[in-house]
Amino acid sequence: MTESEDALAILSGHYVRLFEDHIGKLLEAKNDGVPPRLKECMSYSLMAGGKRLRPVLCLAAAERCGVGPEKALPMAAAVEFVHTASLIHDDLPCMDNDDMRRGRPTNHKAFGEAMALLAGDALMMWAFGYALSRLPHAGIPYETVSKSVAILAEAAGPSGMCGGQVLDTDRESQSGTADFVYSIAGAKTVALIRASVVSGAILGEISDTALKCYHDYGTHLGMAFQIVDDILDVTSTAGELGKTPHKDEAQGKMTFVAAYGLDGAKRLAEENSEEACRAIEELFPEGDLLIDLAKSLAGRKY
């Protein structure tokens, strides 16, 4: 772990522990009608660690809008379930065909392709069933529940994450224009990261002006995150990355490094990180975890 990853882990450690404790207990539940092998397969990927960036953003935004983590946890879980499902599907042979993820065999390498496909589908459904049924028990009003969960679904859907995956992998959907790399990132990565922030913030009573701040923060943070991801693919070893490096170039993918060069990409990451901080600085004139998170994300590893 590098210095900046360390900083990220320390910053978000409190939320990460709450979150992992929550989903750990959820996965241990008995008599929930889930076939044991499917539970094991979902747990394998859910409990594989990772930064937990999305649930941390959701919990932190909720708390800053007056809703404690114990109430927001089902929404944070939903966000992470959808994200984990997308990773499992993304690693499948018909997609990135990857053997390693977070330093371990990918889900389909461990459980077979059919099970990995179904575990991804099951996690997506579980995300919505869990958030919709549990948030009301935590005292969140139904209107808020519906809106928060809709934000997640729309961010992950055909005009968001899934659409971005299509732009990223389907030759016929690709365009050679300079801003195409922004279109891909905006849908593939930014939509879900922004939804993590906004679906958490909206759980509280919050003005439209403040919501807009969180929205813009999520947009720039998500963009910075994808740019850094593109940079790390070029500059890291497999051991540092926990997955196969140098994949983007091998697959001929349109990345920020391909479009702007390594130095240009680093500058863009920095700019987006600063924009993210600026978006919420009037909410937190004394500084905040969310601001530190944006700074440490842009500084990851390189």
Judged by the rule CB under 8 A, the positions of this chain that interact with a copy of itself are: 32-39, 42, 82, 85-86, 89, 92, 94-95, 112-115, 117-118, 120-129, 132-133, 136, 141-143, 145-147, 149-150, 153-154, 156-163, 165-167, 169-170, 172-173, 187
Is the CB of 172 or the CB of 286 nearer to a copy of itself? Answer: 172
Is the CB of 198 or the CB of 269 nearer to a copy of itself? Answer: 198
Distance between CA atoms of residues 285 and 283, nearest Å:
6
Distance between CA atoms of residues 14 and 97, nearest Å:
34
Which amino acid does the sequence have at 43?
S
Distance between CA atoms of residues 208 and 100, nearest Å:
42
Is the CB of 181 or the CB of 298 nearer to a copy of itself? Answer: 181
Q: Please write down the HEC assignment for all residues of 120-173.
A: HHHHHHHHHHHHHHHCHHHCCCHHHHHHHHHHHHHHHCCCCHHHHHHHHHCHHH
Q: How far is the CB of 171 from a copy of itself (least distance, A)?
A: 10
Is the CB of 170 or the CB of 286 nearer to a copy of itself? Answer: 170
Bridge partner list, 105: 100
User: Burial of 277 by CB count in 10 Å (0-12 exposed, 13-18 middle, 19+ buried)?
Assistant: buried
Is the CB of 154 or the CB of 271 nearer to a copy of itself? Answer: 154
* 3-class DSSP state of 100: strand
